[in-house]
Amino acid sequence: MLPAGGELGIWHITEPEDWFLEKLFLYPPELRQLSELKGRRRVEWLAVRQLVHQMSGRSLRGAFIKDEFGKPHLHESDWQISISHSHGLAAAIAAPQLCGIDIQFLVPKITRLAHKFLRPEEAACLVPAHELDQIHFFWGAKEALYKAHGRRQLEFIDHILVKPFTYAGPHGQTLGWVQKDEEKQTFDIHYERSPEGYMLVWALATENLDPKQKNTYI
C-alpha cells in the first residue's frame, strides 16, 4: 500500500503464455498489440495486465486504453497507472496522482551509457562501491518520471532532474522534478534493490491531480 491509498505490485513470472491467455479477457486492440510481440516480451506483456487486473479487484477486467501520447490508462478509472517489466518480473503502480514505475535487471553495460542521461550533479554523487546500483537507480528514476509525465518530448538530461543523495543500501528515497518551459512537477522517488539483482523505482507526484477524484480505481 502506498500513500493516498495507492498500490504497487510485482509479479514473478513463472507461468507459460497459455496460462495467461486462459485467465485474461483481451479486447480486440490488445489482441492486435499482442500479435505484434514475440518471445519473452509476450509473456511479460500478459503478466503486467494480469497484475493490474488483480490489483484492481474487479471481477471483469478493464482494458488498457492508451491516450494520444501512448500513456496507458485503465478503462473507466480516474486513477493513474504505470507498468514495467524486465527479465521475468512485471511491476505496476496505481494511484490517484501522477505516478511512474520502472524495473530493471542490473547489467554492467549501463555504465557506458550513463553520460547520456546523468546531469553533472547526479554523476558527482556516484561512488565506486555502489556505482552500478546508483546508475540503475538514476535511469529507473528518470524512466519513472518520464512515464508519470506521460507526454513525451522530454530529454532525460534537460527536463528530468533527480536530487542527488547518499546511497544507503537496498532501499531509499529522494525527490525528482519534471521541468519544461513554464511547467514544473515535483515527485517523491523511492527505490528497492533486490538481492536477485533488480532495481525497482517508483515516483509519485506530491499533489493529487484533483482532490475530488475517487479514492479507488475499481
The mean per-residue pLDDT over the stretch 164-187 comes to 92
Number of other residues whose CB lies within 10 A of the CB of residue 115: 9
Is 214 within the bounds of a domain?
no
Is the CB of residue 197 less than 8 Å from the CB of residue 106?
yes
The per-residue pLDDT for 152 is: 76
Is 46 within the bounds of a domain?
yes
Report the distance separating Cα 57 and Cα 38, nearest Å: 29
pLDDT higher than threshold 90 for residue 133? yes
Number of structural domains found in the chain = 1
Is 149 strand, coil or helix?
helix
Q: Which domain holds residue 26?
A: 3-205
In a domain, 87, yes or no: yes
Residue 136 belongs to some domain of the structure: yes
**Pair 75, 58: CB distance under 8 Å:** no
Q: pTM of the prediction?
A: 0.92
- The stretch 119-140 carries a mean pLDDT of 97
For residue range 40-99, list pLDDT tens digits in order.
999 999 999 999 999 999 988 999 998 888 899 999 899 999 999 999 999 999 999 999
In a domain, 217, yes or no: no
pLDDT for the residue 46? 97
Helix (H, G, I), strand (E, B) or coil at 188: strand
**Domain containing 75 — which CATH number?**
3.90.470.20
pLDDT score at 207: 78
- At residue 25, the pLDDT reads 92
Q: What average pLDDT does this structure show over 158-174?
A: 94
* Whether the predicted pLDDT of 211 surpasses 60: no
